[in-house]
Structure 1
Amino acid sequence: MDQSPPRSPSVTVADVARKAGVSKATAARVLGGYGTVSDRVRDAVTAAARALDYQPNELARSMTTGRSGTIGVVVGDIENPFFSLAMRGITDVARQAGFTVVLINSGEDAEAEKAAIRTLLAKRVDGLIVSPAKESDVGHLREAARAGRPLVLLDRGSEMLDVDMVIADDRHAAEGITRRLIALGHRRIAYLTACDTPDHRFRTPSDINTGSVRRRIQGFLGVCREAGLDGMEDRVHVGAVTPEHTHRIVTGMLQSSQRPTAIIASDSVIGLEVFKVCRALGLSIPDDLSLVSFHDADWTSVTTPPVTVVRQPVYRLGETAAKLLVERLNGNHAEASRVVLQTKVIERASVAEAPV
């Protein structure tokens, strides 16, 4: 038979007020963080709450203050180290500003993203940070902004929304690495991305719904045209959505009679799979294949050879997005801002002159 003592009822604001010798309204102002009270009263209420082990009722507080103290974040793939590091930047800023973060993973699916936004709005989040899965399908984000929820777009901007956005200079980065490969004699350069099309074939950059990737492909193709390389659209490969898909695509490329001499991986998850397939096929990096990956993931610096990467300011992307959102929540009504952060190519040992 259970002999443990019965649980005591939850401590209420009235209990704290009684112990502190103040009115319930005064205790509520202190505990809810709104209104003004003297330092002496605040100290007395805080001490009483601590002595009674008072736990705030978040729902009741949100109904009183209009604030839940939470920020909702929706990203495409939390398993991707890019989003993990961006989340660190978001949560560090949010915590310092007194907000907690509710994270939902969309799996890069627009319908899942819409459901996530509905869930977060139902939970009364104070604001949203979103990496849109499909930049042409943002009606749900527009409605959230119209409903009075401040919204910041992370890594992926949209010309269809008049909201704050923080992106990296992706096109310039792609142009730089493409020029570098062409200068080393590469002509058969492939670009590989997880973005996909209905028939799994790339035709034009407008096929790509993710703005950051679309800008990279535009930079890649633009430099190829400048260099007189025709038909490079056929060397843009889509659909590397899982390691298994990537393995199949890369194996097909590297066993082709028109095998690429260089591959640009659109993220580090894809880059790692390219590296593995090369090893499995007995190909040498960089003697047989040069490899460049977007995102400076930890593994890229410890392989043999270490991999040349485009280092994106990932932590700063998250940090800046959160700062913009907190400013909005604190009353900033200025025009929407579009912040572009610079990237940097980290030269390692995975790029060499094209094989003869």
Structure 2
Amino acid sequence: MDKNAPPNSASTVADVAREAGVSKATAARVLGGYGTVSEKVRVAVMAAAEALDYRPNELARSMTTGRSGTIGVIVGDIENPFFSLAVRGITDVARQAGFTVVLVNSSEDARNEEAALRTLLAKRVDGLIVSPAKESETDHLRDAARSGRPLVLLDRGSETLGVDTVVANDRHAAESITRKLIARGHRHIAYLTACDTPDHHFRTPADIHTGSVRRRIEGFFSTCQEAGMTDVEHNIHVGAVTPERTRAIIMAMIEAPLRPTAIIASDSVIALEVFKLCREFAIRIPDDLSLVSFHDADWTSVTTPPVTVIRQPVYQLGETAARLLVRRMKGDVGPPTRTVLETELVERASVSMPDQSSEPPHRG
């Protein structure tokens, strides 16, 4: 190594080769972990690398070996506890398999998702896990799958893509909790989601392009109709994308002549806003309003009252997606799989029978 080089100058493969007394190609094989060399040479090269404090150039190594040792993950909202826990499951499996995770947030925007995908492919990630923002916009995902990089869809599937998919049984979960609310006497149940439509009004489940949420709404919608409830579409509220927007929607609901007696929140972020607003306006949960949330966020078990939730296997979703991806990266070429994980209803104290004396009349 050049004696006149500054102390923090990065060592190169050539420096290590010179120090170990081997060719640059031999040093590269040892440092890159490919090819075969004698144990004596390997020990000499590794000793030289340690002495020179050599740090590998990951880009150069990926160009040589065709592998970067990284997995690209794209999720809709990294601030949502659901995605945080799913990513934990992914990273735990990835680390055990020797991979580093590169995480990108799409903000539930298909254009952001497409741009993130291009960036990750340019960085030569070895595989991809994506939670699609819109099942109706998947051309970029299809192109990624065609690139040869293994792709696994997380929480949201696509019937048009022949790739591994891991989802929760969202429709069954929504059906179960809706039946329980109806059995308790609720006839005016609201469903609130961050998913939106161009005019911010829900008409049919086909309006919802996020697969997991659409399956929940389908379950809610069909169960209400089976119970003889009419105008169900008016009880599904979309566009709760920010705390301010969520608050405005909730205020409109509770100030309407036909006030809901129960709300199903499509995620724990929305449920928290419902809970906060009820506290602010002295709306008693569950005496005045029953509340159920998808996702068992930490806060839901420590409030007064604790909130009834649909516990999703969030960590297992991420863990399973990562295991499937690692299997593909190791050469599995079997047919695509669709894994459906079951949910669990955790009944706490935020649901009761509606006050029949104050419940608004049933529409229709």
Question: TM-score, normalised on structure 1?
Answer: 0.96
Residue number in structure 2 paired with 1:355? 355
Residue number in structure 2 paired with 1:243? 243
Equivalent residue letter for 1:315: Y
Aligned equivalents of 1:38, 1:310: Cα separation in 2 = 57
Task: Number of aligned residue pairs: give it.
Answer: 352
Aligned equivalents of 1:235, 1:248: Cα separation in 2 = 15
Question: What is the CA-CA distance between 1:112 and the residue it aligns to?
Answer: 1.0
Question: What is the CA-CA distance between 1:19 and the residue it aligns to?
Answer: 2.9
Residue number in structure 2 paired with 1:190? 190
Alignment of 1:152-163 (within 5 A): 152-163=152-163
Structure 2: gaps spanning 5 or more residues: 357-364
Question: What is the CA-CA distance between 1:8 and the residue it aligns to?
Answer: 5.0
Question: What is the CA-CA distance between 1:101 and the residue it aligns to?
Answer: 1.3
Equivalent residue letter for 1:35: G
Question: What is the CA-CA distance between 1:6 and the residue it aligns to?
Answer: 3.2
Question: What is the CA-CA distance between 1:121 and the residue it aligns to?
Answer: 1.2
Question: What is the CA-CA distance between 1:7 and the residue it aligns to?
Answer: 3.6
Question: What is the CA-CA distance between 1:68 and the residue it aligns to?
Answer: 1.3
Aligned equivalents of 2:203, 2:99: Cα separation in 1 = 44
Question: What is the CA-CA distance between 1:188 and the residue it aligns to?
Answer: 0.4
Aligned equivalents of 2:35, 2:93: Cα separation in 1 = 24
Once the two structures are overlaid, the 10-residue window that deviates more, 188-197 or 276-285, is: 276-285
| Matched residue SS, 1:133 | coil
Question: TM-score, normalised on structure 2?
Answer: 0.94
Question: What is the CA-CA distance between 1:111 and the residue it aligns to?
Answer: 0.9
| Matched residue SS, 2:167 | strand
Aligned equivalents of 1:345, 1:39: Cα separation in 2 = 57
Question: What is the CA-CA distance between 1:93 and the residue it aligns to?
Answer: 1.2
Residue number in structure 2 paired with 1:181? 181
Structure 1's consecutive aligned runs of 4 or more residues displaced over 6 angstroms after TM superposition are none
Aligned equivalents of 2:44, 2:289: Cα separation in 1 = 69
| 1:37 aligns to 2:37 (yes or no) | yes
Aligned equivalents of 2:41, 2:179: Cα separation in 1 = 66
| 1:224 aligns to 2:224 (yes or no) | yes
Question: What is the CA-CA distance between 1:39 and the residue it aligns to?
Answer: 4.0
| Matched residue SS, 2:161 | coil
Instruction: Evaluate the alpha carbon distance shift between residue 212 and residue 19 of structure 1 in structure 2; reply closer, same or farther with a 3 A threshold.
Output: same
Once the two structures are overlaid, the 10-residue window that deviates more, 116-125 or 13-22, is: 13-22
Residue number in structure 2 paired with 1:9? 9
Once the two structures are overlaid, the 10-residue window that deviates more, 20-29 or 66-75, is: 20-29
| 1:200 aligns to 2:200 (yes or no) | yes
| Matched residue SS, 1:135 | coil
Once the two structures are overlaid, the 10-residue window that deviates more, 235-244 or 27-36, is: 27-36
Alignment of 1:52-131 (within 5 A): 52-131=52-131
Residue number in structure 2 paired with 1:214? 214
Aligned equivalents of 1:54, 1:80: Cα separation in 2 = 39
Superposition RMSD in Å:
1.3
| Matched residue SS, 1:221 | helix
Equivalent residue letter for 2:9: P
Residue number in structure 2 paired with 1:276? 276
Aligned equivalents of 1:183, 1:171: Cα separation in 2 = 18
Equivalent residue letter for 2:334: A
Alignment of 1:258-297 (within 5 A): 258-297=258-297
Once the two structures are overlaid, the 10-residue window that deviates more, 37-46 or 293-302, is: 37-46
| Matched residue SS, 2:18 | helix
| 1:168 aligns to 2:168 (yes or no) | yes
| 1:333 aligns to 2:333 (yes or no) | yes
| Matched residue SS, 1:257 | coil
Residue number in structure 2 paired with 1:145? 145
Aligned equivalents of 1:338, 1:315: Cα separation in 2 = 17
| Matched residue SS, 1:117 | helix
Question: What is the CA-CA distance between 1:226 and the residue it aligns to?
Answer: 1.5
Aligned equivalents of 1:348, 1:36: Cα separation in 2 = 61
Equivalent residue letter for 2:195: C
Question: What is the CA-CA distance between 1:150 and the residue it aligns to?
Answer: 0.9
Percent of paired sites with the same residue: 74
Question: What is the CA-CA distance between 1:40 and the residue it aligns to?
Answer: 4.1
Residue number in structure 2 paired with 1:307? 307
Once the two structures are overlaid, the 10-residue window that deviates more, 320-329 or 153-162, is: 320-329
| Matched residue SS, 1:98 | coil
Question: What is the CA-CA distance between 1:30 and the residue it aligns to?
Answer: 1.8
Instruction: Evaluate the alpha carbon distance shift between residue 346 and residue 37 of structure 1 in structure 2; reply closer, same or farther with a 3 A threshold.
Output: farther
| Matched residue SS, 1:104 | strand
Aligned equivalents of 1:317, 1:17: Cα separation in 2 = 45
Aligned equivalents of 2:317, 2:162: Cα separation in 1 = 19
Residue number in structure 2 paired with 1:22? 22
Equivalent residue letter for 1:242: T
Aligned equivalents of 1:117, 1:325: Cα separation in 2 = 16
Aligned equivalents of 1:312, 1:209: Cα separation in 2 = 20
Once the two structures are overlaid, the 10-residue window that deviates more, 179-188 or 14-23, is: 14-23
Question: What is the CA-CA distance between 1:38 and the residue it aligns to?
Answer: 4.1
